[in-house]
Amino acid sequence: MANHWLMKSEPDAYSWQQLLKDKRTHWNGVRNHQAALNLKAMKVGDLAFFYHSNEGKEVVGICRIAREAYPDPTDTAGRFVMVDVEPVQPLPTPVTLAQMKAEPKLADIGLIRQSRLSVMPVSAPHWALICKLGGLKKAP
DNA sequence: GCCAACGTTGGC
DNA sequence: GCCAACGTTGGC
C-alpha cells in the first residue's frame, strides 16, 4: 500500500497550473529537516495532495511521486534532497483549509497541527475523506 | 549546552 | 500588515 502525502507550494512560487503545464517538476527548495525526512520516505508511485499556501489555502490536485529523493542541486551545502512529481488529476472542487478545520475528523492532520511544515504524510482515512470533500467519487 | 535574538512561514 | 509558531544562530 502506497503512502500518501501533502506538499505545499505558494502559487506565486510554483502553482498547480504550472505543474499541469510542465507535466513534471523537481520539488526542490525544501530546507527543513523534517520535511526532508518525509521526502526521503517517499516511493515512486506514492500520491500527494498539492496544496496552495497563502493564496487559495486549498488542496487543488493530486500528484504522483515520479522519482525518489536525490540531492537538491539548489542546496550548495548538499544536505537537502528533492523528488520529482507529476500531476495525476485536479480535484473537481478544491478543499479549503477552512473546510478541513471545520471537519472534526481532520482535527489532527499535520496541515493544521504543524502549519509550517511543507511536506507531510497523510493517513489513509484522511486521504479518502479529503478526496471525497474534493468531489472525487473514488480516492485514487 | 543553554537561551535570547532573530528570521521565516503561513494564517488571519 | 500583524502575529504566532518554530527553526536557526551566536554569545556566553
- A43-70: per-residue pLDDT in tens? 999 999 999 999 999 999 999 999 999 9
Provide φ and ψ at A9, rounded to 5°: -150, 140
What is the per-residue pLDDT across A7-19, written as a single tens digit (0 to 9) for each?
999 999 999 999 9
The matching CATH number, chosen from 3.30.70.270, 3.30.70.100, 3.30.365.10, 3.10.590.10, for A4-133 is: 3.10.590.10
- Spans of all domains in chain A: 4-133
* Positive/negative CA dihedral, A54, A51, A66, A43: positive
Q: C-alpha grid cell for residue A94?
A: 478544491
For the CA atoms of A53, A123, A135, A44, what is the dihedral angle to 10 degrees? Answer: 80
Nucleotide nearest to A115 (CA to C1'): B10
Between the alpha carbon of residue A46 and those of residues A7, A75, A77, A78, A84, the distances in Å are 12, 24, 28, 25, 11
Nucleotide nearest to A116 (CA to C1'): B9
